[in-house]
Amino acid sequence: MMNAAAPMIGLMAGSLALTTATSGAQACPIQLAVYGEAKSGAEIDFTPTGSSATITNTFRMILDNNVVLDGIVMWTDGVSRPHGSLMYKCPTGDVTGDELAACTVWEGVVYSADDKGNIALLPAEGTEAPKSLIFPDLGASLQMSAAYGPDGFSKVPWDVFLLKGCQE
User: Tell me, what's the pLDDT at 115?
Assistant: 87
Confidence of residue 25 (pLDDT cuts 50, 70, 90): low
- Rounded Cα–Cα distance for residues 58 and 125 (Å): 9
Question: For residues 1 and 22, which has the higher predicted lDDT (pLDDT)?
Answer: 1
Confidence of residue 51 (pLDDT cuts 50, 70, 90): confident
Question: For residues 51 and 146, which has the higher predicted lDDT (pLDDT)?
Answer: 146
User: Tell me, what's the pLDDT at 20?
Assistant: 31
Q: What's the CA dihedral at 162, 166, 167, 168 to 10 degrees? A: -170
Cβ-based burial of 46 (10 A; exposed 0-12, middle 13-18, buried ≥19): buried
User: Tell me, what's the pLDDT at 26?
Assistant: 64
pTM of the model: 0.80
- Rounded Cα–Cα distance for residues 25 and 23 (Å): 5
Task: Say yes or no to pLDDT of 64 above 80.
Answer: yes
Tell me the β-bridge partners of 83.
74, 109
What are the tens digits of pLDDT across the range 70-122?
A: 999 998 888 899 999 999 999 888 888 888 889 999 999 999 999 898 999 99
- Rounded Cα–Cα distance for residues 132 and 37 (Å): 10
For residue 8, what is the enclosing H or E element? helix 5-23
User: Tell me, what's the pLDDT at 91?
Assistant: 86
